[in-house]
DNA sequence: ATACCTGCAAAAACTTTGCAATTCG
DNA sequence: CGAATTGCAAAGTTTTTGCAGGTAT
C-alpha cells in the first residue's frame, strides 16, 4: 500500500503508443506523444484543458483543438480512458487497467485505488435480469488521505455540501 | 429482480421536497416541484437539458437557467444526486439511496442495479492508507438487457469503440 | 413586508468543425 | 509524394451570472 504501486500495465506508455499507431497505420506525431506523456505522468484525472496546459510546457505550439482530437484518438487506441466523474467536464486517465476510484467528499479529488489494496470483487451474475457484466469496479466516497488528516472524527460523516474543487 | 423494485426510499419525493424546503427555510416553488417531479418520474439519468425539455411539458414558462439552478438546489437539499458518468455533461438521478450502476457498452445507457440484486459489498477498510471510506457502490460495464438480447455470445466481449448514444 | 426566486439576456466555459498548411511514413 | 494531422478561427454546446420583476412565507 505504500510501495510505488507496481502499476500492472505500466510498460512505458510511449512504447505502446508507437506500437498501436503502427497497428492502426496512423502517424505517430509529436503531439500524440506529448499528450500521452503528460497524461501518463500525473496521478490525478485531469480535464482536457488541464492536459492542454501541461502539454504546452513541452510543446508550446500545440493547440487546444489538437489536444481534444488527440485525447479522442488515444481513447480510441485504448491507451487512455475517459473516467466517470460527477463533474460536467470530461476527465482522462492513462491508467487503462481495471482499478477503483475514491471521490473525496471534501476536496473533490478522484484518487486511484489499486485492486491489490482491496478484497477481490467478483463479477456479479445478473443473467437473471438479462444483463451481461463484463467488468466491475468500485466507486468509493469518503475522505482522501490528505483531507482525512485535517478532519476530526474517525468515520467519514457525510458528503460536504459541495466539495471544493482544488485537489 | 422482476418486481417493480420496492424502491427503498420512494416516499413520495414531493413530500420530502416540502419538508426539506421548510427545514432550510427556502420557498417551495412550482419550478422546484416540477423539476423534482420530472426527474423522479424517469428511470434513466437525464442531462440538465433533458430535464428542462421534460419539465416544459408541465410548465412551459420555465427557463433553462432556472432548471440548472433548481437542479443545484435539489442536489444541495439531498433530494437529487449528480451521477458519475463518463460523458461530459452533468447527469442527475432522483434515487438518492445507495445503489449500483451498469453502463451499457453498446447503447451507453446507465441502468440502476438495486443492491438487493447483488451480493453485499462491504465497506473496504483503507485506514492503512489514511483513507476514510463512507460509501461504496459498484460500477459495472457490460450489456444492458435490451442490448444483450440483440447481441450474440453469452459473455460480454469488450467495450464498443464508442457506444451509440441512444439508450 | 421581505427575502428569495424566476426569466431574460449576455457571458463564460467547454467541445467540435472547416480549411489551408504542415508533417509523417 | 500522398494521406493524415495540425493550427487557427469560427461555430456549437453546455453552464453560469447580473439584474429587474415576481412569488412564497
Locus of grid cell 505522468: A41
Half-sphere exposure of A153 (CA within 13 A, CB side): 11
Q: How many domains does chain B have?
A: 2
**Strand D proximal to A162 Cβ, under 7 A:** no
Q: A167 with A152, same domain?
A: yes
The residues pairing with B101 across neighbouring beta strands, listed in sequence order, are B112, B139
Task: Look at A132 and B117 and tell me if their CB atoms are within 8 Å.
Answer: no
- In whole angstroms, D3 C1' to A24 CA is 14
Residue A57 within any structural domain of the chain:
yes
Sign of the C-alpha dihedral computed for residues B69, B75, B77 and B80 taken in this order: positive
pLDDT for the residue numbered B13: 85
CA B131 – CA A143 distance, rounded (Å): 6
Count CB-CB contacts under 10 A for residue A105: 23
Question: Domain containing A81 — which CATH number?
Answer: 1.10.10.10
pLDDT for the residue numbered B85: 95
Residue pLDDT tens, chain A, 167 long: 434 444 444 568 899 999 999 999 999 999 999 999 999 999 999 999 999 999 999 999 999 999 999 999 999 999 999 999 999 999 999 999 999 999 999 999 999 999 998 988 999 999 999 999 999 999 999 999 999 999 887 655 666 666 755 45
Listed residues A91, A112, A140: the one ending a domain: A91
**Strand C proximal to B34 Cβ, under 7 A:** no
Listed residues A72, A91, A110: the one ending a domain: A91
Listed residues B91, B117, B148: the one ending a domain: B91
Q: B87 with B102, same domain?
A: no
pLDDT for the residue numbered B160: 63
Q: B74 with B105, same domain?
A: no
Q: A85 with A128, same domain?
A: no
- B152 against B157, higher pLDDT: B152
* DSSP code, position B40: H
Residue B47 within any structural domain of the chain:
yes
pTM of the entire predicted model:
0.88
A54 phi and psi angles, rounded to 5 deg:
-65, -45
Q: A134 with A67, same domain?
A: no
Residue B9 has pLDDT above 90, yes or no: no
Q: A136 with A81, same domain?
A: no
pLDDT for the residue numbered A164: 55
Question: Domain containing A129 — which CATH number?
Answer: 3.30.1490
CA B59 – CA B83 distance, rounded (Å): 25
Q: B38 with B102, same domain?
A: no
Confidence of residue B125 (pLDDT cuts 50, 70, 90): very high
Task: Look at A148 and B131 and tell me if their CB atoms are within 8 Å.
Answer: yes
Q: B165 with B132, same domain?
A: yes
Helix (H) or strand (E) holding B136: strand B132-143
Residue B21 within any structural domain of the chain:
yes
SS3 letters for chain A?
CCCCCCCCCCCCHHHHHHHHHHHHCCCCCHHHHHHHHHHHCCCCCCEHHHHHHHHHHHCCCCCHHHHHHHHHHHHHHCCCEEECECCCCCEEECCCCCCEEEEECCCCCEEEECHHHCCCCCCCCCHHHCCEEEEEEEEEEEECHHHHHHCCCCCCCCCCCCCCCCC
Question: What is the domain range of residue A35?
Answer: 12-91
Residue B6 within any structural domain of the chain:
no
Cα angle value B88/A100/B158 (rounded, 5°):
70
Task: Look at A140 and B130 and tell me if their CB atoms are within 8 Å.
Answer: no
* DSSP code, position B143: E
Amino acid at each position: 500500500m505504500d510501495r510505488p504501486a507496481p502499476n500492472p500495465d505500466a510498460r512505458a506508455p510511449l512504447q505502446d503508443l508507437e506500437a498501436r499507431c503502427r497497428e492502426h497505420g496512423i502517424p505517430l506525431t509529436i503531439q500524440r506523444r506529448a499528450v500521452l506523456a503528460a497524461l501518463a505522468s500525473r496521478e490525478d484525472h485531469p480535464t482536457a484543458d488541464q492536459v492542454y496546459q501541461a502539454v504546452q510546457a513541452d510543446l508550446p505550439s500545440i493547440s487546444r483543438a489538437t489536444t481534444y482530437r488527440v485525447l479522442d484518438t488515444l481513447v480510441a487506441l485504448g491507451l487512455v480512458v475517459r473516467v466517470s466523474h460527477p463533474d460536467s467536464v470530461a476527465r482522462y486517465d492513462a491508467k487503462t487497467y481495471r482499478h477503483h476510484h475514491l471521490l473525496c467528499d471534501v476536496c473533490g479529488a478522484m484518487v486511484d485505488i489499486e485492486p491489490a489494496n482491496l478484497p477481490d470483487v467478483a463479477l456479479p451474475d445478473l443473467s437473471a435480469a438479462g444483463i451481461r457484466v463484463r467488468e466491475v469496479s468500485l466507486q468509493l466516497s469518503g475522505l482522501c488521505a490528505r483531507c482525512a488528516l485535517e478532519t476530526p472524527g474517525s468515520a467519514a460523516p457525510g458528503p460536504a455540501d459541495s466539495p471544493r474543487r482544488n485537489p
